[in-house]
């Protein structure tokens, strides 16, 4: 799918916390990817369609340095990444083998990839930070991916941090981690997310002015009427 510049701009002003609330009201509870923490503090909120990659447990005959030259390798997968995508990598939560290092991340930057998100870890952390590629992961480790994982493919449904991610689902990542917006719910989040942000900003202002929480958060009928009046 193509995600319009307008949609990206709208979602870049909607927090992951708000998105989880909006989708919870639609019955979606499992959209926050566990273990996806910003590698560098202060990374700005980013939005993009998911480009999926998948690892499975290491198998000694497959997870070798020679596999890096295989047609099915992380190197080949990176060359298939379209500009503006967010690479979402299923590393099975393994935290003692870095899936990508500085060289691969540098190539992703050259290809115009928006960010890397994984429930695993990266390696060469100083170099990765030096590439400028925004990364959300569960930390870093010195060993390479083949020390604990076997890469098996890209462009298929994966699980990342316990969340089912399909290619081209929309991903939003900020200081709270990464969340997924299923394609079927994008229009709903675009419509409801900004309003949720406006409403909560109004509530925060009320709290700062001394208002008590009962009847304010959540709003009772009187508070809803006062809030509605501010939008006229």
Instruction: Provide the annotated binding site for Mg(2+).
Output: 124
Q: What's the Cα-to-Cα distance from 98 to each of 102, 139, 208, rounded to whole Å?
A: 11, 9, 44
Helices and strands in the chain: count of H runs, count of E runs? 7, 11
pLDDT tens per residue across span 67-96: 778 888 999 999 999 999 999 999 999 999
Q: pTM for the complete prediction?
A: 0.93
Euclidean distance between CA atoms 35 and 121, whole angstroms: 9
pLDDT tens per residue across span 143-177: 999 999 999 999 999 999 999 999 999 999 999 99
Instruction: Provide the annotated binding site.
Output: 101-104, 123-124
Instruction: Provide the annotated binding site for substrate.
Output: 101-104, 123
Residue 1 is predicted with a pLDDT of 54
Residue 67 is predicted with a pLDDT of 78
Burial class (CB in 10 A: 0-12, 13-18, 19+), 133: buried
Residue 99 is predicted with a pLDDT of 97
Euclidean distance between CA atoms 39 and 122, whole angstroms: 9
From first to last of the 232 residues of the chain, give the pLDDT tens digit: 578 999 999 999 999 999 999 999 999 999 999 999 999 999 999 999 999 999 999 998 887 888 778 888 999 999 999 999 999 999 999 999 999 999 999 999 999 999 999 999 999 999 999 999 999 999 999 999 999 999 999 999 999 999 999 999 999 999 999 999 999 999 999 999 999 999 999 999 999 999 999 999 999 999 999 999 998 7
Fold of 5-183: Glucose Oxidase; domain 1 (3.50.30)
Boundaries of every domain in the chain: 5-183, 188-230
């Amino acid at each position: 799918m193509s995600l319009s510049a307008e949609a990206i701009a709208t979602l870049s002003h909607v927090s992951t916390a708000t998105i989880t609330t909006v989708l919870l009201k639609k019955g979606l509870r499992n959209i926050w990817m566990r273990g996806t923490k910003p590698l560098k503090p202060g990374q700005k909120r980013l939005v993009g369609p998911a480009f999926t990659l998948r690892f499975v447990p290491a198998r000694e005959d497959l997870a070798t340095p020679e596999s890096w030259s295989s047609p099915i390798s992380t190197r080949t997968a990176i060359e298939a990444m379209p500009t503006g995508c967010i690479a979402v990598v299923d590393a099975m939560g393994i935290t003692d083998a870095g899936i990508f290092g500085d060289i691969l991340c540098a190539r992703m930057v050259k290809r115009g990839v928006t960010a890397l998100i994984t429930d695993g870890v990266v390696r060469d952390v100083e170099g990765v930070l030096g590439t400028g590629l925004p990364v959300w992961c569960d930390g870093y480790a010195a060993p390479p991916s083949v020390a604990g994982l076997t890469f098996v493919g890209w462009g298929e449904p994966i699980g990342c941090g316990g969340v089912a991610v399909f290619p081209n689902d929309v991903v939003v990542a900020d200081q709270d981690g990464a969340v997924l917006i299923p394609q079927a719910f994008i229009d709903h989040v675009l419509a409801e997310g900004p309003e949720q942000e406006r409403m909560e900003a109004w509530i925060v202002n009320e709290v700062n002015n001394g208002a008590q929480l009962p009847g304010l958060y959540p709003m009772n009928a009187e508070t809803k009427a006062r809030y509605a009046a501010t939008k006229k």
